[in-house]
Amino acid sequence: MNEKGNLEDKIKGQSKENRLLNVTEVAALLRISRFSVYNLVKRKELSAIKVLNKLRFDITSVEQYLEKQRINIEEK
């Protein structure tokens, strides 16, 4: 199984309240670079929690970020 599949299985196995992700996991879920994740935090578009000088992300925050990015295309 590939790395992405293992990551998604690991995350799905956790309860929603306990899902703190690191930068690499968020980058993989969003299919962006780690640098882009840091930029989203710097621009305050994605909220993070600092734990011992490391960034962690609540899965709910990542879901909220994705919802804000949703584009609704109306049919004409």
- Residue 37: CATH number of its domain: 1.10.10
**In this structure, which amino acid lies at residue 35?**
F
37 lies in some domain: yes
% residues pLDDT > 90 (the chain): 66
- What does the DSSP 8-state code read for residue 13? T
pLDDT digits (tens, 9 = 90+) for 33-42: 999 999 999 9
Amino acid at 17: E
Q: Is residue 76 part of a domain?
A: no
Cα dihedral 60, 67, 6, 10, rounded to 10, equals 20
- Total domains, the chain: 1
- Establish if 16 belongs to a structural domain: yes
Q: Is residue 44 part of a domain?
A: yes
Range of the domain at 51: 3-69
65 contacts: CB under 8 Å, gap ≥ 6: 40, 45, 46
**Would 55 be classed as within a structural domain?**
yes
Confidence tier at 8 by pLDDT (50, 70, 90):
low
